Amino acid sequence: MRRLSGTSRAGKTGIRTALSALLLVATWGGAALAPSTAAAAAPDPDASPGLIAAMQRDLGLTEQQAHTRLAQEKAAFAVQPSAERAAGADFAGTWFDSDSGRLTVAVTNRQKAEAVRKTGADARVVTHSAARLDAVKQRIDRLEAPAAVGSWHVDVRANQVVVQVAADRAGRADVKAFLDRARAAGPVRVEKVDATPATFAAGTVGGDPYYTHQYRCSIGFSVHGGFVTAGHCGTSGTFVRGWDGSDMGWFQGSSFPGDDMAWVSTGYGWWTVPVVYGWGQTSDRLVRGSWEAPVGSSVCRSGSTTKWHCGTVLGKNETVNYAVGAVYQMTRTNVCAEGGDSGGSFITGDQAQGVTSGGWGNCSSGGNTWFQPVNEILGRYGLTLHTA
């Protein structure tokens, strides 16, 4: 996929003049609220007109529907921890149902389903637990996948593991052999797709947030001491320059493939703030935490090439098979992205979700984009998210 990065010089001239080198990617998400009809109907004071407009454009919502959805997702965030605890070992996954505006929790036990409903979430009884499906996916992770296999993931709604294969190469012998081994691992469904993922890397282009000797990429989120971004943007020790070409910092840690995560320490007069750029389409967003949004939630992305776009979380813990190797535990969305967007931020409400990795398609025809969850990056490197 192409890397996602930066902001336009025209849009940032005032900010850059005043703040020297403020390179931040922002997304917004919701603080948890108790579920209520009143909350679902009340406009969110933190939802700027630009954000609402982006949701209207990319999700096909009216203005009121956008406000309602944000409030419903905040309520779902609040319910999720207690609902998962109620499910216990019979837990089989969660997702936000945009039709009902509520969190749905899958369980393998009818009694646990009743316990889940008492927390305020909906429940669905299924056959396979999350632990069972995760074990199947882990067995597939140990297989060597041909390039025509794009990704595999647990589909919580279908209660299966889905393997995505390029339609024009599905009949190849190596693909068929891989799928036979995958099916032997457990409940697997094969899905034919038009394209397979690639990283969003791009050559150096002026006017974007940061550059290495080889690429330009986007900042994900500020952490104390620097920022997080995509691992394929640079290796440990890679030097980074800012949007204006001035010295910025170094890659202190990087992992790709296997993961797609990195963090850059900043110096040379650069500082961090809990903000991501709205590109004039929405106000610059404050980051207040990193609660993980369930499948079905809305999510927005900021990147230097394609600016601000929104969509939906489609799947979690997916394995993406890039040409250079597989990357695990990724989250899939239907938000578009293009070259130069890599490393940029994904956010729901004011809650950081992850950094852009790669995908297929573009912002003219649409596509899928995967991100590396931010909490995994923070845990790996012992970082603290800079929050408002």
Q: Active-site residues: which are they? A: 232, 260, 342
169 alpha-carbon distance from chain centroid: 28
3-state SS track over 48-116: CHHHHHHHHHHHCCCHHHHHHHHHHHHHHHHHHHHHHHHHHHHEEEEEEECCCCEEEEEECCHHHHHHH
Distant-in-sequence, close-in-space partners of 145: CB < 8 Å, separation ≥ 6: 178, 321, 326
Q: What are the backbone dihedrals phi and psi of residue 123, each rounded to the nearest 5 degrees, phi first?
A: -130, 145
> Do residues 319 and 326 touch, judged by C-beta distance below 8 A?
yes
**Structure tokens belonging to residue 303:** 């990147």
Query: What CA–CA distances, in Å, run from 186 to 106, 128, 135, 177, 190?
Result: 18, 10, 9, 15, 12
Neighbour count for residue 224 (Cβ, 10 Å): 10
The two structure tokens encoding residue 105: 């929790």
CA dihedral 298, 303, 306, 307 (to 10 degrees): 70
Which H or E element spans position 210? Answer: strand 210-211
